[in-house]
Amino acid sequence: MTIYNEIKYYSGTQPVVLSIGNFDGLHLGHQYLLQKNIDFAAKLGARAALLSFDPHPLKVIRPEELRYPLSLLEEQEIGLENMGMDEWIREPFTQKMREEKAQEFIERLVRYLPLKAVVVGADFRFGKNREGDITRLQSLASQFNFQVLTPETFLYQGQRVSSSLIRRFLLSGEIPQANAFLGRPYSVSGKVISGFRRGRTIGFPTANIKTVLAHNLQRGVYNTRAYIRGTRWKAATNIGLHPTFEESNELQVEVHLLDFSENIYGEELKIEFINFLRPEIKFKDVDSLKTQITKDVLLVRES
């Protein structure tokens, strides 16, 4: 898959079938739409391409709203490549682009891309103040000689799949539901860093990672699977602020790998979330905490 960091750098010459939007979760709805793109591109003898925006437009339009991605760019790249997408254009979203009218946006697309077709959802909006809709897109497509394909809305369990819905599942601890709508287990990754080292002193050593993706999760303890050096391990993972001790100012991701004792500082650790065990609790003393962690680990071991 070829990646372009701006539309103006596009150098391909084959016809392009383009999908436009932010596909940070690559959830079932995204997969459905992009598969339609891939199939239509094959039918037309064209390249299957995605245009997304970095940062997410809401960070520019409504910066006061905290919004965390469901996956990182590196993970999105792997997912798109595995699906069979040919090209990914990552367009910077700026204040200037925010002011770009619908027709100006399409004019810029056809200036730089050999555009054959656009494949987007029926609720697709574009241009300044979201002035452009599907009717406007179809009008511009006639003017600039490309096709528009709008697949029917994808439903799973009777609901429209969306990143916002998946975030709500994650924050409410409904991990199996979130995983079902994602089409894979929700995961976070990062290099193992030094933590407070309290887990070792109470018999439950942890590997600690830092990732913004943890902010999508409810604080508490999870049944997880950890991947290190190509091997999978059962693990109990805590997302929290250490309320039993002096509360941390920064969200901590602490992973206790069952039956594992190797030094993995500086190595890449991936955590897949299976289900939520309990919310974060402030215990009256360390012994109460140890008793509860023992129960948590037993639940993970038996899963």
- Show the 3-state SS of 158-191: CEECCHHHHHHHHHCCCHHHHHHHHCCCCEEEEE
- Give the residue from 121, 127, 98 showing the smallest Cα distance to 27: 121
How far apart CA 60 and CA 95 sit, in angstroms, is 7
The residues, ordered by sequence, that sit 6+ positions from 195 with a Cβ below 8 Å of its Cβ are: 206, 208, 252, 254
Catalytic residue among 99, 104, 107, 254: 254
Q: How many residues comprise the chain?
A: 303
CA–CA distance from 273 to each of 20, 58, 193, 226, 297 (Å)? 29, 27, 20, 9, 15
Catalytic site residue 254? yes
Tell me which residues are annotated as active site: 254
